[in-house]
Amino acid sequence: MVEPLLVLGVLVAMFVAYNIGGSTTGPAFGPAVGAGAISKTGAAALMGVFFFAGAWTIGRNVVTKLGEELVVDPGVFTLEASITVLFFIGIALLVGNVFGVPASTSMTAVGAIAGLGLAGDVLDSGVMGEIIVWWVVSPIIGFWVSLIIGRYFYARLNRMVAMERSTGPLLDIDRSGLVPIPRTHETTNRRELIGTITVVAIGCLMAFSSGTSNIANAVAPLVGSGELAMNPAIIFGGVAVAVGAFTIARRTLETMGSDITELPLTAAIVVAGVSSTLVVFLSALGIPASFVVIATMSIVGLGWGRATRPMAVSDVVSDADAPPVTVDALAADEEGEQLPPIGEEDPEDIPRAGDLFDPATTARVVLMQNVVPAIATVGAYLTFQFVPVFGF
């Protein structure tokens, strides 16, 4: 007979996963839906499939890290403790939503588990230190990679993925044979096809990266308790995420309300690509990565790189009389048109940093991304330390 408390724990975990599906589908596939490259239903289906793929493959590394390695004695993950940890994850994320800040689910989950570990004096300081170091380093990497892309490669990327919508549908279905075959519509141009494929592929990468990192935030406490095996936990979490993608995510897809999807399409692709790649890399190491924090710094780096493009590198690192470095002038685009050299562009054509990120909003986001996990950590610690039922 299944213990009722375990059923409650699974339901709470699935509720957390349900909200993860609702909150991450928009940032992942918002650009594709907004560009008309895919429908909301198609976006939800791809979110469910690729989230599960990321969770089933690389995601179990993060589940193990949080559920078994972050605390030296996984025995502290009783069913009561696991449900309480998930409760604080949900409450802390609610605080972020109230303030309109996309809080980091991974940082919040680690904070709640760390509070449990501190109260029970079983927190592994070495593992916690490793996680914190990567939390500091990964946004810096995202910032500099995006800055370089923004300064030297953004114009070329923009030409490659710019969506030029044709009058007809993107694809036709050839039903002449036994198996229907999709074919490019006669009015579809090459750039439209490339742009569509790129923006949908980036959404799939984001969904996969979300699965590699976020599945642990929903199921790691239960897996750590030993009451729920890894594979069933991932299946429960994946199903809940898919349900969230098909239901509450439709509104976020419609309003395009996240910081990532409010960017120009090319900028959204850059930020999503850089952030997702870093998240997958960290998940492979078992590090619960914060996509929100990395993406925020990637936006800042991309805006900074675009804003400094009219200034030649030599003007920054050398004397003003040195000839400008014209990296882009060495390459032509697909139509043979020479790109303007750095330092010789029309400043009116170059967005300033403030066009891609608002410093005040960025400061508020960074502040809340630290406050929300702190709420989870302190709340969990005080509860496990002073509520007699836990016996710590």
Residues 115-141: tens digit of each pLDDT: 999 998 999 999 999 999 999 999 999
Confidence of residue 357 (pLDDT cuts 50, 70, 90): low
Among 183-192, 296-305, 314-323, 351-360, the range of highest mean pLDDT: 296-305
Please give the average per-residue pLDDT across 11-17, as a whole number. 90
Q: Give me the pLDDT at residue 284, please.
A: 94
Q: Helix, strand, or coil here: 282?
A: helix
Angle at CA 265, nearest 5°, toward 264 and 268?
85
Q: Which residues contact 8 (CB under 8 A, 6 or more apart)?
A: 83
Which pair of structure tokens corresponds to residue 294?
């990395």
Q: Give me the pLDDT at residue 172, please.
A: 62
Token pair 């036709």 is found at 172
Q: Give me the pLDDT at residue 212, please.
A: 96
Min mean pLDDT across 20-24, 81-85, 193-197 is at 193-197
Please give the average per-residue pLDDT across 314-338, as a whole number. 39
Spatial contact of 54 and 211, defined as CB atoms under 8 Å apart: yes
Q: What is the pLDDT of residues 286-303, one digit of tens each?
A: 999 888 788 878 888 888
Q: What is the C-alpha end-to-end distance of the chain, expressed in Å?
A: 29
Distance CA 62, CA 277 (A): 16
Q: Give me the pLDDT at residue 21, please.
A: 87
Q: Helix, strand, or coil here: 338?
A: strand
Evaluate if residue 333 carries a pLDDT over 60.
no
Spatial contact of 79 and 9, defined as CB atoms under 8 Å apart: yes
Q: Percent of the chain beyond pLDDT 70?
A: 71
Q: What is the pLDDT of residues 257-290, one digit of tens each?
A: 344 445 677 888 888 899 999 999 999 999 998 8
Spatial contact of 152 and 273, defined as CB atoms under 8 Å apart: no
Spacing of C-alpha 58 from chain mean position: 15
Give pTM, 2 decimals. Answer: 0.79
Evaluate if residue 317 carries a pLDDT over 50.
no
Mean pLDDT for the chain overall: 78
Distance CA 339, CA 345 (A): 9
Q: Give me the pLDDT at residue 139, please.
A: 93
Q: Helix, strand, or coil here: 342?
A: coil
Q: What is the pLDDT of residues 161-183, one digit of tens each?
A: 665 655 655 666 777 777 777 66
Q: Helix, strand, or coil here: 184?
A: strand
Q: Give me the pLDDT at residue 327, please.
A: 33
For residue 161, give the nearest of 339, 42, 35 by alpha carbon: 35
8-state DSSP, 182: E
Distances 208 to 45, 101, 213, 214 between C-alpha atoms, Å: 13, 23, 9, 10
Q: Give me the pLDDT at residue 237, please.
A: 95
For residue 366, give the nearest of 71, 102, 137, 69 by alpha carbon: 102
Q: Helix, strand, or coil here: 22?
A: helix
Distance CA 66, CA 199 (A): 32
Check residues 109 and 363 and name the one with the higher pLDDT.
109
Q: Helix, strand, or coil here: 71?
A: strand
8-state DSSP, 99: T
Alpha-carbon torsion angle 143, 144, 148, 151, nearest 10:
50
Angle at CA 391, nearest 5°, toward 390 and 392?
100
Check residues 31 and 70 and name the one with the higher pLDDT.
70
- State the angle between helix axes of 359-386 and 291-307 in degrees (0 to 180), rounded to the nearest 10: 160
Evaluate if residue 253 carries a pLDDT over 90.
no
Q: Give me the pLDDT at residue 314, please.
A: 45
